[in-house]
Structure 1
Amino acid sequence: MKLHITYDHPIPINAFEWTPATYRQSPHVHASLEIGLCLSGKGAFFFGNKRYAASPGDLFIVNNEERHIAQSDPDDPSRYLFINFDAAMLLAEEPGLLLPFSYRSTHFCNHIAGGSALAQELTPWILAIAEELQVKSAGYLAMAKSALIQLCGRLLRHYNGLLTEVERQTMVQSVRQIQSLAALVEQRYREPISLGELADELGLSVSRVSRAFLETTGYRFSDYVSLLRIQSAKQDLTGTDKAVAHIAFECGFQSLPTFYRVFKEIVGMSPIVYRQSIGVAH
């Protein structure tokens, strides 16, 4: 089952607490990346055929490909704090931060034991993100994003040391290719663009770049283009008094019905309702 994630804030980061069922539910996958902190109780966390025991202080790393689900101990149900975020944000900030999430599932340990030096280093940043998004003090969006970058930077330093040189070079090459592709997309997403055209410019095969893009970001190329267009539209809806139709075409959509459909799929409401929800007249 693939979950569709929506975000509660102007930046694509969510923080939420969750208590798993005491029976094993169907595993799921989502395009977003995730880090879970077990706050209390006991249970298990399943990633494909892998099973990890869970106890307070344990951390779990979730990428955008591996099917996963947690389960609570019936006598001592577990409770988690999850930080869920969009890979596109790290891609735009520093693509190398995606390396810890670009693992091949069979060779990766998703579990970081509570009490370990790494868990103690990462936990304060997880709690800081959750607090910023909950309290919403002045500058909270920048603070939450900064804390996430600190968190992922520390993960990068840890996992980078565990890779063989061949693995590291392969992963770095993929990330660099995706960085180049993403840079071209960000320059041209307002125009009609195709993956074939951009792959040709980069000297890569369409199949290679398509697969690498999906593995690294969790997005299909067309979905990523739509995401950039919608992010731009959201900024115009909140920061200008431009007509909705004008915004749609200016952001790269070829028809108004397509814009409305994609906007609602990604944001969860229509462009007009989104503009009204933040107090801007349309």
Structure 2
Amino acid sequence: MKLHITYDNPIPINAFEWTPAAHRQPPHVHESLEIGLCLSGKGLFFFGNKRYEAGPGDLFLVNSEEPHIAQADPADPSRYLFINFDAALLLKEEPGLLLPFSYRAARFCNHIPGGSALARQLIPWMLAVAEELREKAPGYPAMAKSALIQLCGRLLRHYNDRLTDEERSGMVQSARHAQALAALVEQRHREPISLKELADELGLSVSRVSRAFLEATGYRFSEYVSLLRVQTAIRDLAGTDKTVAEIAFDCGFQSMATFYRIFNEKVGMSPNAYRQSGGNFSESKK
């Protein structure tokens, strides 16, 4: 099952607490990246065929490809804090920050034990992200983003030493290709664009840049273009008095039917309803 995650913050980061069911539910995937911290209780966390025991202080890394689900102990249910964020946020800052999430599932350990040196480094930054998004004090988007970068930077330093030079070089190169493609899409998403056109401009094959982009961000090219167009439409709906039709075509959509369908898929309501709500809509979480 693939979940779609939306964000109600100015930056694409969610922080929320969640208690899993006491029985094993179907696993899911999502385009966004995720770090989970077990706050209390006990349980299990499944990643594909891998199974980890969970207890207070344990952390779990989730990328955009590996099916996963947590399960609570019926007698002592686990409760988690999850930080969920869009890979494109890191891609714009420093592609290397995505390396800890670009793992090959079979030989990667998603579990960071509570009480370990790494867990002690990461937990304060997780709590800082959650606090900024909860309190929404002046400047909180920048503070939450800064705390997330600190968190992922420490993950990078830990996992970087566990990669061979060849693995590290290949992953960084893929991330750089993804970053270059993302920059072009961001500049020109309001225009009719194709993956082949942008791949040619970058001097890369369509298959190579498409694979690199999916691995780095969790998005297919067409999904990412649509996402940027919807994000632009959201800003225009909230900040201008342009008609919905003007916004749709200005953002790069070729028909109103396509605009309404994709907007509703991404936001969970129509453009008109979004404008009437004043920009308040619910996040899709676990």
The CA RMSD over aligned residues, in Å, is 1.5
Could you tell which deviates more after superposition, 153-162 or 26-35?
153-162
| 1:61-80 superposed Cα distances (whole Å, 9 cap, x missing partner) | 00000011111122211111
Could you tell which deviates more after superposition, 264-273 or 173-182?
264-273
In the alignment, is residue 167 of structure 1 matched against residue 167 of structure 2? yes
| 1:143-176 superposed Cα distances (whole Å, 9 cap, x missing partner) | 2122111111111111112111111001011001
Amino acid at match of 2:128: A
Name the counterpart of 2:125: 125
Name the counterpart of 2:35: 35
Amino acid at match of 1:2: K
Structure 2's unaligned 5+ residue stretches are 281-286
TM-score normalised per structure 2: 0.94
Name the counterpart of 2:200: 200
In 2, the alpha carbon distance for the partners of 1:21 and 1:260 equals: 35
In 2, the alpha carbon distance for the partners of 1:204 and 1:123 equals: 39
How many residues are treated as equivalent by the alignment?
280
Q: For 1:219, what is the secondary structure of its paired residue?
A: coil
Name the counterpart of 1:3: 3
Q: For 1:122, what is the secondary structure of its paired residue?
A: helix
| 1:179-223 superposed Cα distances (whole Å, 9 cap, x missing partner) | 111111112111111111111222222122222211111111001
Q: Post-superposition shift, 1:138?
A: 1.8
| 1:79-121 superposed Cα distances (whole Å, 9 cap, x missing partner) | 1111111112222222221111111111211111111111111
Q: Post-superposition shift, 1:279?
A: 7.5
In the alignment, is residue 69 of structure 1 matched against residue 66 of structure 2? no
Name the counterpart of 1:278: 278
Name the counterpart of 2:23: 23
2:14 and 2:84 in contact (8 A); partners too: yes
Name the counterpart of 1:191: 191
In 2, the alpha carbon distance for the partners of 1:175 and 1:18 equals: 31
2:37 and 2:58 in contact (8 A); partners too: yes
Amino acid at match of 1:12: P
Name the counterpart of 2:222: 222
Q: For 1:266, what is the secondary structure of its paired residue?
A: helix
Name the counterpart of 1:239: 239
In 1, the alpha carbon distance for the partners of 2:255 and 2:22 equals: 47
In 2, the alpha carbon distance for the partners of 1:134 and 1:176 equals: 33
Structure 1's unaligned 5+ residue stretches are none
In 2, the alpha carbon distance for the partners of 1:275 and 1:144 equals: 26
Q: Post-superposition shift, 1:51?
A: 1.1
In the alignment, is residue 60 of structure 1 matched against residue 60 of structure 2? yes
Q: Which has the higher contact order (CA 8 A, sep 6+)?
A: 2
Name the counterpart of 2:209: 209
Amino acid at match of 1:165: D
Name the counterpart of 2:99: 99
